[in-house]
Structure 1
Amino acid sequence: MKRRKYEIDFEDFERKIIENNVKLFILCSPHNPVGRVWKKWELKKLGDICIKHNVYVLSDEIHSDFVYPGYKHTMFNTLSEAYEKISITCTAPSKSFNLAGLQISNIIIPNIEIRKKIKKEIAKVGYSSVGIMGIVACQAAYEEGEEWLNELKQYIYSNLGYLRNYLEDNIPEIELVEPEGTYLVWLDCSKLGISGKKLEEFIIHKAGLWLDVGYIFGKEGDNYIRVNIACPKSILDKALNRLEKAVRELKNEIK
């Protein structure tokens, strides 16, 4: 089966910067929801365009721990000193170690002047002091959580294989967009013949599932749904069974 893949339209990217007088580019790396792990040459091309037009880069790398075999995550700000000067890198232990409730994240800003401005803005909104529990949990996760994280990634990779096979064998109308990273999987539902709000209603009321429907990411996502596979395999199986039943009923209705 031919695997579809999302790619960057660099000409369109540069054109939008010029036409909209863009000053800050938010880079999602690895990309959510399409699951791309950007290659070095892609990041460099984006970086060069941003430098050319004096655009700062906010690099959201919160999913960087979740990269599948055969792929490697590269931090944008490590590729050159020039990129380092224009970059603000955001990471967190929340995705990797399920610590979102503790409100802790990391902002890496090598450029001292930018760092001062960001710290000033953070203080204005009351986030200048984080909770002690979050700090302790973050340190514990990074210092002692490697074994747990490695086992988690193997489990998620196994879930991905299960999802892939289940769709191919039982719900061929829904196609997996093969991810290179993240545990949020992008599924193409074009063959169902419904999209946008109608697809959302189908997922909620017919399949009995609460998933992210693609239109929330823009009109290009109208035919897609996003599934979180960072869960027990029994839960994933139950969800797929419901989805299969709903698709089968939909096909019968169309007939």
Structure 2
Amino acid sequence: MSQEIPLEFVDRSGTDCVKWDIPHSHPSPMMMWVADMEIASPKPVVDAITKRAAHHAYGYPVAPKEVNECIRQWAAKCFNWDISTEWISHSPGVCGSVAASIQAFTQPGDRIVVLSPIYFPLTNLPEDNGREAVRSSLIFDDKTRKWNINWDDFERKISLPRVKMFILCNPHNPTGRMWTREELTRLGELCLKHEVLIVSDEIHWDFALPREGSTPMHVPIASISPELSRNTLTFSAPSKTFNIPSFQFSFCIASNPRLREGFNVFLSRNAAFAENVFAFPAAIAAYTHCYQWVRDCDALFRKHCTMVYEMFSKDKFKGLVDVVDQEATFLLFINMNKAINYFHEKAMAKAGGATDELRLSNDKALFPLPRNTHPVTGAVLVDPAAPAAEFNRRTAGALKDFIFQKTGVLFNEGSQFGIDGDGWVRMNVGTKTENVEETLKRLESLFDTLFAAYP
């Protein structure tokens, strides 16, 4: 039964929190990056954990049958998806599950297709396991403010030799897209046509942001048809939704026993067992009592996304910054490429064409508002911290470093999700409204400084 549970916020600093406690020298940081919230876990979850902690033995647990049953009921209530409890396997995390599926169903040298820009582990994991990550670049439409699938490119990529798997991110991180039933059907049919397995990361499936007068519903790709269900491994977890990622608990939904058994074998081979004693009562409480709490979170995220959009809709930002039309997740993608080009042209004119004075103080990147590729030629600018003279997926970070140096606001670098995201930043709006307001205040001040320096 869902309860009325207020949203509460916590100060994460000083609690060994990766989001707030990374080493830095800024006196008043505003950490708006990694997908970790300042919203406290809902009270039923906290109560369930506290009750279990009161039993002072924390040995090896066994999952009660209620875990799979509450996942089944959640899928039915939230997504109109009728699944069986027998389809559900437990694992320590979605990224580990993706890695296990790569090892189970592909071979070294095989190709795995993704839609780019994309959450970076979904390309790192194939590459780290000796596979080739093939990026099908999404196309940003600055009129609709949405990223769209390049269908010709996707079909060409999915039909390449040795493509064995398509890793879908649904909802999509970082673009904020909640793929439509029509888009998912077309993606799925192309995978069936070319005999490509679908691995679907749906960890953000609870974050379908409401619009005025309606609340859209997330569509799991495996729910569309029996054929797609048999060709899909779906991964999700309560971790992002209920702010409990440290419990390292996720689940796989697979109606096809061959896929389910193959996946479980590789979990077992890697001793990847979900054995956190607090995860099971937390999941049961979350999926049983916290439906309305999730909807309240979604409404808050919509409010925060609207605040960002309205700030950058001011006349002085017109034609300079694009904020995506956010459909899902609490991770908002912001396009600064036009502003980068604008200030680059202004700075070049002011410098008489010279660029030496346009470097950051640490000599890391060019231009008053930088990115990792040249705004005119598109050539990759070398990050001196990188081990080789080429774009480096793990270290490129010119834009977010610049913004942090100047404002104390830390975002995720767009190029972290692939070169398609260069010139973008990803902002975490899963926080209290005051933090969003302060972030926007600092960004506006930064732009005002740039406007004054490069009129």
Structure 2-normalised TM-score? 0.54
Query: Which amino acid in 1 is paired with 2:193?
Result: K
1:236 corresponding residue in structure 2? 436
> SS of the residue aligned with 1:46?
helix
1:44 corresponding residue in structure 2? 185
Q: 1:83 aligns with which of 198, 204, 228?
A: 228
Higher relative contact order (CA 8 A, sep 6+): 2
User: Any residues of structure 2 matched to 1:10-29 within 5 Å, and which?
Assistant: 10-29=151-170
Residues 1:222 and 1:20: Cα distance change in structure 2 (over 3 Å): farther
- CA deviation after TM superposition for structure 1 residue 52, in Å: 1.0
1:62 corresponding residue in structure 2? 203
Contact 2:168 / 2:199 at 8 angstroms: preserved in 1?
yes
Contact 2:411 / 2:426 at 8 angstroms: preserved in 1?
yes
Of stretches 88-97 and 121-130 in structure 1, the one that deviates more from structure 2 is: 121-130
Residues 1:129 and 1:219: Cα distance change in structure 2 (over 3 Å): closer
> SS of the residue aligned with 1:96?
helix
2:281 corresponding residue in structure 1? 136
- CA deviation after TM superposition for structure 1 residue 218, in Å: 1.0
Of stretches 227-236 and 198-207 in structure 1, the one that deviates more from structure 2 is: 198-207
Listed as ranges, the gaps of 5+ residues in structure 1 are none
Query: Which amino acid in 2 is paired with 1:176?
Result: V
Separation in structure 1 between the aligned mates of residue 408 and residue 321 of structure 2, nearest angstrom: 17
Contact 1:57 / 1:88 at 8 angstroms: preserved in 2?
yes
- CA deviation after TM superposition for structure 1 residue 132, in Å: 1.9
- CA deviation after TM superposition for structure 1 residue 20, in Å: 4.6
2:425 corresponding residue in structure 1? 225
Separation in structure 1 between the aligned mates of residue 283 and residue 436 of structure 2, nearest angstrom: 28
Separation in structure 1 between the aligned mates of residue 315 and residue 416 of structure 2, nearest angstrom: 27
Largest Rg, 1 or 2: 2
Find out whether 1:158 has 2:330 as its counterpart.
no
Listed as ranges, the gaps of 5+ residues in structure 2 are 1-141, 341-369, 373-396
| Alpha-carbon RMSD | 1.7
Of stretches 136-145 and 13-22 in structure 1, the one that deviates more from structure 2 is: 13-22
Of stretches 63-72 and 167-176 in structure 1, the one that deviates more from structure 2 is: 167-176
Structure 1-normalised TM-score? 0.94
2:261 corresponding residue in structure 1? 116
- CA deviation after TM superposition for structure 1 residue 123, in Å: 1.6
Separation in structure 2 between the aligned mates of residue 94 and residue 39 of structure 1, nearest angstrom: 24
> How many residue pairs get matched?
255
1:187 corresponding residue in structure 2? 334
2:401 corresponding residue in structure 1? 201
> SS of the residue aligned with 1:122?
helix
- CA deviation after TM superposition for structure 1 residue 16, in Å: 0.9
2:174 corresponding residue in structure 1? 33
Residues 1:41 and 1:17: Cα distance change in structure 2 (over 3 Å): same
> SS of the residue aligned with 1:23?
strand
- Cα distance per residue 1:146-204 (max 9 Å; x no partner): 12212222222221222221222386232211111111101010132232343233212
> SS of the residue aligned with 2:278?
helix
Find out whether 1:215 has 2:360 as its counterpart.
no
User: Any residues of structure 2 matched to 1:89-108 within 5 Å, and which?
Assistant: 89-108=234-253
Residues 1:129 and 1:95: Cα distance change in structure 2 (over 3 Å): closer
Contact 1:119 / 1:128 at 8 angstroms: preserved in 2?
no
Separation in structure 1 between the aligned mates of residue 295 and residue 445 of structure 2, nearest angstrom: 34
> SS of the residue aligned with 1:47?
helix
- CA deviation after TM superposition for structure 1 residue 4, in Å: 2.1
Query: Which amino acid in 1 is paired with 2:218?
Result: H
Separation in structure 2 between the aligned mates of residue 157 and residue 132 of structure 1, nearest angstrom: 34
1:174 corresponding residue in structure 2? 321
Residues 1:192 and 1:55: Cα distance change in structure 2 (over 3 Å): same
Separation in structure 2 between the aligned mates of residue 150 and residue 198 of structure 1, nearest angstrom: 36
> SS of the residue aligned with 1:19?
coil
2:451 corresponding residue in structure 1? 251
Of stretches 164-173 and 56-65 in structure 1, the one that deviates more from structure 2 is: 164-173
Identity fraction in percent? 31
> SS of the residue aligned with 1:36?
coil
- CA deviation after TM superposition for structure 1 residue 136, in Å: 1.2
